[in-house]
Structure 1
Amino acid sequence: MCDWPECGEAGEFRAPGTRPSGFDGPGEFRWFCLDHVRAFNSGYDFFEGMDADEILRAQSPLGGWDTETRAFRATGGVDGVPRWADFADPLDAIGERARDFVRRREAAYRPAQRSDGRPVTPAERRALDTLGLPLDSNRSDVRRRYTRLLRRYHPDHNGGDRSLEDRLRRVVEAYQLLRRAPAFS
C-alpha cells in the first residue's frame, strides 16, 4: 500500500526512506503510488541537513572513492592481508606469460637491420609485409611490386571490381611510406 497518509492505492514506486544507504545496508525505502511519488520527488532535497563542506564532498566526482576497498588494502581491516598476496605461482606461469608479452611487444617496436646495415622501422616492416616483400628489398623491387599490385587491385585494370579498393588503398599507403624511407633510397 502507498505510504502516503490516508492513501489506499498500491505502492509501486520506491522513494528514499528515513535511513539512508550505508555500511549497514541499502537503507529504508518508502513505497508510493504514482501521484504521491511525484509529490514526494518534487519536494525531496538530498542535501537537506548538510553543511556546505558536506555538500561539496557529496557533489565531488571523487565522492565515495576516498578509501581503498577491503580487497586491496595492504594491511589492516577485518581480513588483514588481502587474498591476492597469498597467491603462489610455483611454475611461474603468470610471470613467464607477462615476460613473453613484453618481449613480443618490444620486438614489434624495435627497428630491424637490413643486410646492408640500414635500420628499418616497424612501420616500414608493415609496409613491406603489405607489399609482400622481404626486408632486404631495394627501391626497384618496391617500385616493381607496387606497379604489379596497382594493376591487380585498381578498378580500371581489373574490370571495374571495386571490392579490392581497400587493398589498393593499403598498397598505395605502403608505397608512399617506402619511397620516402631512407633505407630504400
Structure 2
Amino acid sequence: MEICSAPGCTEAGEFRAPGGEAAGFDGPGSYRWLCLDHVREFNAAYNWFEGMSAEEISEAQNPYGGWERQTRAFGTVGQSPPPRWADFADPLDAIGARFRARQEQARERQDGRPLSPGDRKNLATLGLDVDADRKALRTRYAELVRRYHPDRNGGDRSHEKALQQVIEAYTALKGRPLFA
C-alpha cells in the first residue's frame, strides 16, 4: 500500500494522479498516489485546457472532432444491396437482416423433418450437418471417441471434457426419431 504523496500526509494513497513527468513516446509518464482528500483537491484544481488558445479549446470541444475527414463508401459490388435503415427500429436488426433468410434456409433439413434447438446444438458438437443420417452420426461418433479417449492418447486426459460432450450429444441424438 502506497502512502499519500502530498507533503505531510500519512494517509494511504489509494488514488493515482498524474505526476511530474508527462506521457510521451517512451511511455505513460509518471504517477503519484494520493489519499481521497488530496485527490479531490487535485481534481478540483485540474484544468485540461490549461495552456490552450481559445481556438484550440473550441476545436477540442467540437462534437465532430475527427469526423471532418472524408471516408470512402462501402461498396456492394457482387453483393446484394444492404437493407434500408428506415425499415428497422433497431440498427442492429438491419445488420443481421441481410443474412437471416440465408440462415433460415440452411437450418432446415432436406427431408423436411423438424430439428429442435437441442438437436442442432448436439449436431454442432459432433461437427455434423443438419442433413446427417444415422450412419454419418455413428461414423462421426466413433471418430471423435477415438480422437478424444485417453486410452488412444497415451493416458492424456486433457480432452476429457470434449469426450464427455461428444458422448452426451451422441446419446441424445441416437434416441431421436430423426435418426431411427
Tell me if TM exceeds 0.5: no
* Bigger Rg, which one: 1
Normalising by structure 2, report the TM-score: 0.44
Normalising by structure 1, report the TM-score: 0.43
